[in-house]
Structure 1
Amino acid sequence: MGLPTFVITFRETLEAALVVGIILVYLIKTENTKYNKFVWGGTFSAIVGSGVAAFLFSRFAGGFTGATEQIFEGATMFAAALLLTTMIFWMLKQKHLIAEHIRAQLSKHIEMEYEIGIFALAFVMVLREGVETVIFLNATAFIGQFDFLSGILGIIVAVGLGFVIFAGIKRIDLKNFFSVTSVLLILFAAGLVAHGVHEFEEAGVVNPIKTPVYNINHILDEKGVVGSFLKALFGYNGNPSLMEVLSYLGYIGLIAIVYYNFDKIFKIQQPIATTSS
């Protein structure tokens, strides 16, 4: 089973499902279900748009060969790692404000009877998750960890969980869920950074410094059952270059520093925004 593929599609689909659920619940509570068709229209249009983005990305990526292909794949891995990182910290910062923001936008559109605004709200929110998924899955494909069935399973489970949450069948602790998946995605992103560096080394863009810096494949083969699992989830490499090791540890260290100082950074920025207004 492709665990990275499952985690990515599961989390991204659940985020989209939660957004759509928040919109629909608000429309029900305010007795404005006549706008539901615009929500579903925006949602399905975003799904189609995500499919088009996936097709165009694959066509574009297929046009490269040699060093250019390695540079493109490495750049895609860096972009995916950056997106994963910003997504996680954005969720950390905005987790208490997302629902309020959506409801405020909906209230404004309903008051103005602006159906296109409701359509666009659902479309943009879902399309963002879809495009992120396309980039993440292409990055997993470049490192040989993409699994189609795992991706489909992630989508199905996420949609089912979204239904369970909003139908009130069972209360789910989403805080713990997002905390666990965030840790997994950060470690996966660290692996993408190291793999991206490897691709740039292969293309002659980055100096590996020393290669390999160690080789423990005789102890834990990266192509074995356990090694393949660790490679898929954490970016394990049995014989990395020194630059790959430094990039992996550097990324983890940077994320740890930002995370443990997140509240302090936010409090420093808050007064500046207040006094300037």
Structure 2
Amino acid sequence: MNQSLFIVWRESVEALLVVGILYAWISQQAERSRAMRFLWGGVALGLVLSAALALIVLFAGEWLSGPAGEWFQAALVLLASALILQMVGWMRRHGRTFKHDLQQAADTHLQRNGGLGLLLLAMLAVGREGSETVVFLYGLGIHKQGVELWQFALGGALGLGLALLTFMLLQAGSRLVSWRHFFLFSEIVLLLLGASMLIAGLDRISGQLMALELPEQVYSWFGDALWDTSAGLDDSAGLGSVLANFAGYRAMPSLATVAALAGYWLLVVYWLRRRAPAVSPCAS
């Protein structure tokens, strides 16, 4: 539940930020009422687009069974992990000019294509956030065992409510809750979740590889534990469970698990060092 709450919270705040910037920009235009209709129409279509993607993903997951389903689910989890890394890098690179670029794109679309261009921009912006949310939540859901659907849904509903509250506080310009602090905190947790999803996907792949006829060395890489810390920090209960859910911790990791985590964090350092430090996307 905590994972779904965080994902919905973070992605909803970003979607609200996009809508808020476009709303403020439209309020300064001559044909405000007409442009507003296109804005809300684009938001609605973006939500429909996200819902359609959710149905497609769920249908595909139900339709595929056996090994094919396991490989599909592993691919979705790994895609979610890659999307997290891409999203954090994108915000670091474009955070300084996010507001300016979005307003400039809205102005260009409005001049070239009229209201339809604004509708398309809003649809794609909201649809992007919604699509990421769908992939992230599906990736979380399929590797969480023993979690009831209502708990997952409750986490999402609480995340949406928290997002609305957070957005209002951020817009109010609170020193305790600033855009800089929000993106820094969410960036750290997202990267930890990215590691968790990577290891969850690797676990599914390992399970499928164990059923294939492969060289003995491969089984050793993916199946043999390098060490066992379950006596002091079990990954199925307490703090160990939290670390497993949010950072990919394993009490008995295989060589493939250790290598994947090390490679992931090296890639994170390399990826983020090439991006400028994140700043408030509300800066002009």
User: Is the pair's TM-score, using the shorter chain for normalization, greater than 0.5?
Assistant: yes
> Hey, what's the Cα distance between the residues in 2 that align with 1:45 and 1:179?
30
Q: Is the 8 A contact 1:222 1:231 kept in 2?
A: yes
Shift of 1:29: 2.5
* Corresponding residue number in structure 2 for 1:124: 124
* Equivalent residues in 2 for 1:104-115, closer than 5 Å: 104-112=104-112, 114-115=114-115
- The whole-number CA distance in structure 2 between the counterparts of 1:84 and 1:77 is 11
CA distance in structure 1 between the partners assigned to 2:165 and 2:37 by the alignment: 21
Gaps of 5+ in 2: 277-284
Return the alpha-carbon distance in structure 2 between the equivalents of residues 76 and 57 of structure 1: 9
Choose which of 235, 240, 248 in structure 2 pairs with 1:222.
235
Q: Alpha-carbon deviation of 1:170?
A: 4.2
Q: Is the 8 A contact 2:89 2:271 kept in 1?
A: no
1:66-85 to 2 correspondence within 5 Å? 66-85=66-85
Q: Percent identity among equivalent residues?
A: 25
2:247 to 234, 241, 246: 234
SS, match of residue 86 in structure 2: helix
Aligned-partner SS, 2:54: helix
Aligned residues: CA RMSD: 2.1
Aligned residues: 261
CA shift at 1:31, angstroms?
Answer: 4.4
**Aligned position for 1:246:** 259
**Which residue of 2 is the match for residue 180 of structure 1?**
185
Instruction: List alignment gaps of at least 5 residues for structure 1.
Output: 264-277
Map 1:202-217; keep pairs closer than 5 Å. 202-204=207-209, 207-208=218-219, 209=221, 211-217=224-230
The 1:228/1:121 distance shift into structure 2, 3 A limit, reads same
Counterpart CA distance in 1 for 2:169 and 2:188 is: 24
Report which stretch shifted further, 64-73 or 204-213.
204-213
Identify which range, 12-21 or 203-212, moves more after superposition: 203-212
Contact 1:77 1:139 in 2 (8 A): yes
Tell me the alpha carbon deviations over residues 48-87 of structure 1, each in whole angstroms, 9 at most, x when there is no partner. Answer: 2211211111111112222222211211111111111001
For 1:133, the equivalent position in structure 2 comes to 133
**What residue number does 1:6 align with?**
5
2: CA distance, partners of 1:261 / 1:216 = 35
The TM-score, its normalising length taken from structure 2, stands at 0.85
> 1:190, 1:234 within 8 Å by CA — same for their partners in 2?
yes
Distance 2:274 2:132 in 1: 26
Check conservation: 2:170, 2:178, Cα contact below 8 A: no
TM-score by length of 1: 0.87
